[in-house]
């Protein structure tokens, strides 16, 4: 039986509900506010924003299912013939209050066209303000275990893809400690396509498990004004990536998506300081030294 877009979208909505519940439970104070919206050209979504929690300063868990004529920019970029498109997904970015808790992003998506073209994509990556190799190892262990349940080749392939994708070329540094990134996963075999869908959902469901771990463990680590200043600078790097390099941001804007929902990934506050250089031997310097591709965090 062929997967249909309604089933995929409904499962993504269920996932959104689950993630929001889990994050609210761990934060213990804040609540998501839902903003339902419609896209004039077709479709709509549910953007849920979390602000001023005990642990989460600002976060968004967005579901969307949009459709209609495919914009020329998208056709040219994807090298596709004109046809109607449908795209659905769940996108998440969490900015914590404490600089000791990492920023995290997760996105899963499905795209199809009336011409028969279709695929899944997604990814999850961790952006610590301060890199802790033990935290990076835990994160990658969880992601690898999720990948290995479906295909042993997924983790090494998608980890490399993430290192290359979540990279600020103009800074020559990675956004964080990476994770996995994948796109255009598809099969002509419907059973295999179903397995791809199950893998994509598994990435979504491992997200709250991972992040609740970091919320619980890292939110009790003490910090001061120096760490908050550093957090603001690292948030600035996050903004740079999302506005300059992120394909999801560009896709949303090119398809006349809802600007407020697309830019929900931005932190509440970010700073830029001209030619900032951390003190040699500091924890800040250690972080900068490890914002590199191809680090094997599993054995670091």
Query: Which residues pair with residue 91 across a beta bridge?
Result: 62, 107
What mean pLDDT comes out for the span 37-62? 94
What mean pLDDT comes out for the span 81-107? 95
pLDDT of residue 214: 98
Confidence of residue 34 (pLDDT cuts 50, 70, 90): very high
Lowest mean pLDDT among 17-31, 81-95, 168-182: 81-95
Q: Which of 18, 95, 105, 290 is catalytic?
A: 105
Q: Are 157 and 168 in contact (CB under 8 A)?
A: no
CB-count exposure of residue 90 (10 Å: 0-12, 13-18, 19+): buried
For the stretch 128-150, pLDDT in tens is 999 999 999 999 999 999 999 99
Which runs of consecutive H residues, i.e. helices, occur in the chain? 5-27, 72-78, 133-148, 154-165, 190-218, 225-244, 247-254, 259-262, 283-289
For the stretch 140-198, pLDDT in tens is 999 999 999 999 999 999 999 999 999 999 999 999 999 999 999 999 999 999 999 99
Question: What percent of the chain shows pLDDT beyond 70?
Answer: 100
Question: What percent of the chain shows pLDDT beyond 90?
Answer: 84
What letters, b where the CB count within 10 A reaches 16 and e where it falls short, cover 160-190?
Answer: ebbbebbbbeeeebbbbbbbbbbeebeeeee
Domains of the chain by start residue, with CATH: 5-289 (3.40.1500.10)
Lowest mean pLDDT among 26-30, 69-73, 154-158: 69-73
CA distances to 85, 110, 174, 243 from 43, rounded to whole Å, are 11, 14, 34, 24
170 is catalytic: no
Cβ contacts of 44 within 8 Å, gap of 6 or more = 36, 37, 38, 64, 65, 66
77, pLDDT greater than 90:
no
pLDDT of residue 255: 72
Confidence of residue 75 (pLDDT cuts 50, 70, 90): confident
Confidence of residue 82 (pLDDT cuts 50, 70, 90): confident
What mean pLDDT comes out for the span 22-33? 96
Query: Which residues pair with residue 33 across a beta bridge?
Result: 49
Cα-based angle 195, 196, 198 (whole degrees, multiple of 5)? 60
Question: Average pLDDT of the chain?
Answer: 94
Measure CA 107 to chain center: 4
For the stretch 207-260, pLDDT in tens is 999 999 999 999 999 999 999 999 999 999 999 999 999 887 887 787 777 788
pLDDT of residue 72: 77
DSSP-derived 3-state class of residue 90: strand
Lowest mean pLDDT among 96-100, 250-254, 289-293: 250-254
Claim: this prediction has a pTM higher than 0.85: yes
DSSP-derived 3-state class of residue 58: strand
Distance CA 202, CA 219 (A): 26
In this structure, are strands 43-51 and 56-69 parallel, antiparallel, or unpaired?
antiparallel
User: Which residue in this structure is represented by tokens 């602000």?
Assistant: 51
What mean pLDDT comes out for the span 75-98? 88
What mean pLDDT comes out for the span 73-80? 75
Nearest to 116 by CA among 258, 221, 30, 2: 2
Q: Which two tokens stand for residue 42?
A: 């077709």
């Amino acid at each position: 039986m062929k997967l249909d877009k309604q089933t995929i979208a409904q499962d993504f909505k269920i996932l959104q509900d689950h993630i929001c519940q889990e994050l609210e439970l761990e934060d213990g104070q804040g609540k998501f506010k839902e903003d339902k919206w419609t896209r004039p050209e077709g479709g709509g979504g549910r953007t849920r924003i979390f602000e001023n929690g005990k642990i989460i300063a600002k976060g968004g868990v967005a579901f969307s299912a949009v459709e209609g004529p495919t914009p020329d920019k998208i056709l040219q970029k994807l090298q596709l013939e004109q046809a109607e498109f449908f795209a659905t997904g769940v996108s998440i970015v969490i900015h914590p209050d404490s600089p000791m808790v990492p920023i995290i992003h997760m996105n899963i998506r499905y795209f199809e066209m009336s011409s028969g073209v279709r695929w899944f994509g997604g990814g999850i990556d961790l952006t610590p303000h301060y890199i802790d190799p033990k935290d990076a190892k835990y994160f990658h262990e969880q992601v690898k275990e999720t990948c290995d349940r479906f295909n042993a080749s997924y983790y090494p392939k998608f980890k490399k893809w993430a290192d290359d994708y979540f990279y600020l070329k103009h800074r020559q540094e990675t956004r964080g400690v990476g994770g996995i990134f994948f796109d255009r996963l598809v099969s002509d075999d419907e059973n295999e396509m179903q397995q791809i869908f199950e893998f994509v959902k598994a990435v979504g469901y491992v997200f709250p498990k991972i992040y609740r771990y970091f919320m619980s463990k890292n939110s009790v680590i003490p910090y001061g004004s120096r760490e908050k200043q550093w957090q603001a600078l690292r948030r600035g790097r996050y903004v740079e990536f999302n506005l300059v390099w992120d394909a999801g941001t560009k896709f949303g804007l090119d398809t006349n998506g809802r600007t407020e929902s697309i830019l929900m990934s931005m932190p509440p506050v970010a700073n830029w300081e001209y030619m900032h250089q951390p003190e040699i031997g500091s924890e800040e310097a250690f972080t900068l030294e490890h914002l590199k591709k191809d680090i094997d965090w599993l054995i670091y």
